[in-house]
Structure 1
Amino acid sequence: MRHLLAWTLVAAATTLTAATPQPPAPSDCPRLTGTWYGDDRARLQQVIDTYGTCSGHRGAVAAFDWDNTVTKNDVTDTTLTWALRHGKLLRPDHWTDTSTWLTPAADKALGKACGTGTGTGPVLSGSRCADEILEIRENATTTTGAPAFAGTWNHRRTVPQYAWVPQLFTGRTPAELTAYTAAARREALAAPVGATRTLGTHTLPAYVRYYDQQRDLIHTLQRAGFDVYIVSAGAEPITEVWSAGVGIDAAHTIAIRPVLDHQGRITPRNEGCGGIPATRGEVIPYIDGKRCWINQEVYGVRGAAAWQRQPWRRRPALAAGDADTDVTFVGDATGVHLAVNRNKPELMCRAYDDADGRWLVTPMFIDPLPRRPHPYPCSTTAYTAPDGTHGPLRREDGSPVLDEPDTVY
């Protein structure tokens, strides 16, 4: 009955407009503040009131992606570039030790630019080394255009260049990585909005900002009795430093978790999920992997069942993300799916199709992207299959999602 009531209230909320007067709330009901797009604030508030303490409930879950959902710009990349500039990455004996899928071309390029040999000193922080690492991280190619990763992986459970960043910190301890992140965070928060930095031939954002609206949303959810989690495809020690800034502790921060060696140092392996043991990056919180980690870590679902959509009571009430890597767990939410528009096709096709009437779209809160000039290719290539091929995005009943114009920007 509670879920039927929730459905009724949330469905009704979809008809609101920003100008529609709202009935007064009890004085002890936590209220959102700040400026949101259209009627987003009213609809978010409706979910908070329905699932939270204002309706006598406590313990509903809200889950947020981190990079470019709660902050503007990527905090894992911010730490990586700081480490490159300060010579904090250790040379591996062989660059192929860092990733299962690293190609001979990438191994050769990294060895030439950065050197090899653990114990011989930190990776050179010069422009050639930085260029190779950043190009592989950004585009999965070497600076000469050769593929940096090859082989077979499940494209809905991992992407090699995401898994590679924590692997680059092999040999360091989580405490050291935390210290690097704290230094990078201070620097990025002090830099003016819009600031960039040139590292080698790459021009990178030099600043990070917490989104005021998301910070307020998280705090309001917490005051209303929600358990708020972060689920990110970044490195967990890095994400934990940043999530503390919005009042989310390590126990509620889920990201790539490196396996440590007997001396407490980071290795190229990370913890597994859904019955899959620790590997060198085969399963990370990425697309379907985010659902798996939420099911496993939040709801205690073990084994292969963690990969499956769970019953209503074992799903977040609210979920928010900005990219295709977030589409599965955001779509699992029972109350509202909040999509920050960064023009990512699978997520935005789901959001604009709005099959269940619970999707909200917001432009980025700082420096939003311009309108995408052409409709999203929902009916042809928006869906990424496990083998990496692209095809039409389909609803639960099998019907294709039609191409969608970009209308919230």
Structure 2
Amino acid sequence: MRNNHVAAWTSVAAAALMAAATLNSPAAAATSAPSASNASHGCPQLSAKLPWYGENRARLQRMIDERGTCGGIKGPRPVAAFDWDNTVSKNDVTDATIAWSLKHDKILRPASWKQTSKWLTDDADKALTTACGTDVPVGAPLPTSTDTDCTDEIFNIRESGKTMSGAAAFAGEWNHRRTVPQYAWVPQLFAGHTVPELESYAAQARREALRAPVGATQTLGTHTVPGYVRYYEQQRDLIRTLQKAGFDVYIVSAGSEPVTEVWSRGVGIDRAHTIAIRSVLDSRGRITTYNEGCGGTGRTQGEAIPYIDGKRCWINQDIYGIKGAGAWDRQDPGHRIALGGGDADTDVTFVGDATGAHLVLNRNKNEVMCRAYDNADGRWVVNPMFIEPLPQKPGTYPCSTAAYNKPEGGFGPLLREDGSVVSDKTDTAH
């Protein structure tokens, strides 16, 4: 367990509910700037030099003032949790690491591609074996820097879950709110490496991505992908302000944990506060195709990762010390985060669990944007991406018919807690 916030929660829960009511009151909604009294008393303030959409800075500042040290709440520190890729950073740091590794021959040939994922199809196994060949000894680096066919197959499966010919790369049964095979496949691709080796690849990819100009692209085989990554300065400032105000701040990502840890240090979040896919190591300290589980699942080959409901599970387990199957359940307000930040459907559950503010960066993802625009509790804060924001989504989000990611796969209508259907929403924050 990374941390434990289990303590005397009754007074904390009551204070949290009172603060939530204050945030959602008409008087609070009408306030557009931090109060002068809080600023004059030295309460940590978000930078006024960094632009936010609409009244979002003021709304987040109120939550910080009310829930943090200036609010005078006694008991365990309030918790804030953020997704990483495209929430704290612009562009995907896992993809940046994969790209660097493919360009530098860092993927080791497995004994069998089928062994890398329990869901890998025969079509994908054949495509990878044909493209990457069998000349390289098992456990030796594949020449992906020059073998564009091999690079194309690996990256296309990671990107789309399909082979270059369009065949499904993964098949079978899995809970679609607890995992997605192509996400779980990323750390599995690095099987045979040590954690320090993977960290070194992530660090070198990070240097290249931060040096590349905004808008830069790179070529992997026949794929053109982003060539740069940036920390969002607004998110760095928000994290710093939360920490100064007494919050415990975590990253909860569906990426590989060693990769995410390399990046999270750049916003002042240490290894103990970074949660992502945690690979099981063999007796020699090398990454295997298995990962640690959550909610009583034990070790798995990808059945449970920090993905949609899995992010809630890891927060409950690693932060609040909730063991067993109960970690999958929504907890009482005293055992939930104060602020959650995300950008995609993979974040919707834990961001929705927050009791103080639900921060969403708009990437036009149906389920999370339907929740955000429905704003059932009045605490959803929607912001365009800080770099290269997307244009307005045409039409409406299909909230009433096809926004909910069903556990068995496919999509259905999105429901509120009372069972009513969320109506379709228009995109307004862009």
Aligned pairs for 1:43-82 (under 5 A) are: 43-57=59-73, 59-82=77-100
**Partners of 1:99 and 1:167 within 8 A in 2:** yes
**Letter matched to residue 210 of structure 2:** L
Specify the alignment match of 2:220 in structure 1: 199
Specify the alignment match of 1:31 in structure 2: 45
Q: Confirm whether residue 345 of structure 1 aligns to residue 359 of structure 2.
A: no
CA distance in 2, matches of 1:15, 1:255: 35
Q: CA deviation at 1:86?
A: 0.1
> Cα distance 1:120–1:68, how it changes in 2: closer, same or farther (>3 A)?
closer
Q: CA deviation at 1:56?
A: 2.0
Specify the alignment match of 2:411 in structure 1: 390
CA distance in 2, matches of 1:261, 1:16: 56
**Offset from partner CA, 1:156-199 (integer Å, 9 cap, x none):** 00000000000000000000000000000000000000000111
CA distance in 2, matches of 1:231, 1:269: 19
Q: Confirm whether residue 146 of structure 1 aligns to residue 167 of structure 2.
A: yes
Aligned pairs for 1:325-404 (under 5 A) are: 325-404=346-425
- Which of 276, 300, 307 matches 1:286? 307
CA distance in 2, matches of 1:373, 1:43: 28
- Normalised TM-score (structure 1): 0.98
**Partners of 1:17 and 1:38 within 8 A in 2:** no
Specify the alignment match of 2:196 in structure 1: 175
CA distance in 2, matches of 1:331, 1:14: 20
Q: CA deviation at 1:120?
A: 5.6
Identify unmatched segments of 5+ residues in structure 1: none
CA distance in 2, matches of 1:27, 1:170: 52
Q: Confirm whether residue 300 of structure 1 aligns to residue 330 of structure 2.
A: no
Q: Which structure exhibits the higher relative contact order, with contacts defined as CA atoms closer than 8 Å and separated by 6 or more residues?
A: 2
Q: Confirm whether residue 123 of structure 1 aligns to residue 123 of structure 2.
A: no
**Offset from partner CA, 1:316-341 (integer Å, 9 cap, x none):** 00000000000000000000000100
**Partners of 2:198 and 2:258 within 8 A in 1:** yes
Q: CA deviation at 1:17?
A: 6.0
**Letter matched to residue 177 of structure 1:** L
Q: CA deviation at 1:404?
A: 0.1
CA distance in 2, matches of 1:50, 1:5: 9
**Partners of 2:194 and 2:285 within 8 A in 1:** yes
Query: How many pairs were matched up?
Result: 408
**Partners of 1:14 and 1:358 within 8 A in 2:** no
> Does the residue aligned with 1:24 lie in a helix, a strand or coil?
helix
Specify the alignment match of 2:274 in structure 1: 253
CA distance in 1, matches of 2:327, 2:141: 39
Specify the alignment match of 2:117 in structure 1: 99
**Partners of 1:90 and 1:118 within 8 A in 2:** no
> Does the residue aligned with 1:380 lie in a helix, a strand or coil?
helix
**Offset from partner CA, 1:266-309 (integer Å, 9 cap, x none):** 00000000000111100000000000000000000000000000
> Does the residue aligned with 2:30 lie in a helix, a strand or coil?
coil
Q: Confirm whether residue 187 of structure 1 aligns to residue 208 of structure 2.
A: yes
Q: CA deviation at 1:15?
A: 1.9
CA distance in 2, matches of 1:21, 1:281: 44
CA distance in 2, matches of 1:375, 1:124: 45
Identify unmatched segments of 5+ residues in structure 2: 1-13
> Cα distance 1:265–1:4, how it changes in 2: closer, same or farther (>3 A)?
closer
CA distance in 2, matches of 1:145, 1:50: 52
> Cα distance 1:130–1:14, how it changes in 2: closer, same or farther (>3 A)?
farther
- Which of 18, 21, 33 matches 1:8? 21
Q: CA deviation at 1:228?
A: 0.1
> Does the residue aligned with 1:352 lie in a helix, a strand or coil?
helix
**Offset from partner CA, 1:102-139 (integer Å, 9 cap, x none):** 00000011011113465462112121111101110111
> Does the residue aligned with 1:228 lie in a helix, a strand or coil?
strand
Q: CA deviation at 1:55?
A: 1.4
Q: In percent, how many aligned pairs have the same letter? A: 65
Specify the alignment match of 1:84 in structure 2: 102
Q: CA deviation at 1:92?
A: 0.2
RMSD of Structure 2 on Structure 1 (CA): 1.2
